Amino acid sequence: MNVQAPTIRTVEDFLRWNDGREGRYEFVRGRITQMMTGGTRHHAQLMLELAILLKAGLASGDYIVTAADYAVRTPFGVRYPDVLVEPRSRGTGKSLATNQPVLIAEILSPSSLATDFGEKAEEYTALESLEHYLVLSQDEPRVWLWSRGEDGAFGKPEMTAGSDETVTLAGLGITLALAEIYRGIA
């Protein structure tokens, strides 16, 4: 759904307009779009569990892990990923968005499948700072991981499935067990 707001022309305009607003919106290719609100329990569990595991795995304090309400600036506007990781040295506590994420994660829902694998993959992997884009199924232990290669480019995503599998986030120096991410779900 597009929202009429003719005075919103830039990312900064959008972030000011959106700050504290009820409902969820993104700014993509010059348009304000309404996001889905409310999700399944599995979606909420996965988002929280992933954020907790990332925070524990990045215990050095060099990174900040946020979920859902903190934006990322993309080449095409502003998105609100389910989970993101950025260096602690970037931004301030009052920042409304980052343009320096090192990891972005999205949890699939039936309505987001095409966007998460299409537009968002294109936008996120265009960010120079990004090392990993992770997409998680909410119904079973299955993830897709785009990682920046040694040549600086992103290849096709690698799919990992099964509760006995792990996913390595080499750019962050951590490995996550799918059994831990999906604890209580699968």
Specify the pLDDT at position 31. Answer: 79
Specify the pLDDT at position 16. Answer: 77
Distance CA 179, CA 161 (A): 10
Distance CA 99, CA 119 (A): 17
Q: Is the CB of residue 166 less than 8 Å from the CB of residue 53?
A: no
List the domain boundaries for the chain.
Answer: 39-181
Specify the pLDDT at position 55. Answer: 95
Per-residue model confidence as pLDDT tens for the chain (186 residues): 455 555 787 777 777 777 777 767 777 777 777 766 657 899 999 999 999 999 999 988 899 999 878 889 999 988 989 999 999 986 667 788 899 999 999 999 887 888 899 999 999 999 999 999 999 999 999 999 999 999 999 999 999 999 999 999 999 999 999 999 999 886
Specify the pLDDT at position 72. Answer: 93
Specify the pLDDT at position 36. Answer: 62
Tokens of 59: 């215990």
Specify the pLDDT at position 37. Answer: 61
pTM for this model (two decimals):
0.85
Tally Cβ neighbours within 10 Å of residue 34.
12
Domain 39-181 sits in CATH at 3.90.1570.10
Distance CA 111, CA 90 (A): 32
Distance CA 128, CA 125 (A): 8
Specify the pLDDT at position 54. Answer: 97
155 phi-psi bin (left φ>0, alpha ψ -120 to 50, beta other): beta
Specify the pLDDT at position 157. Answer: 97
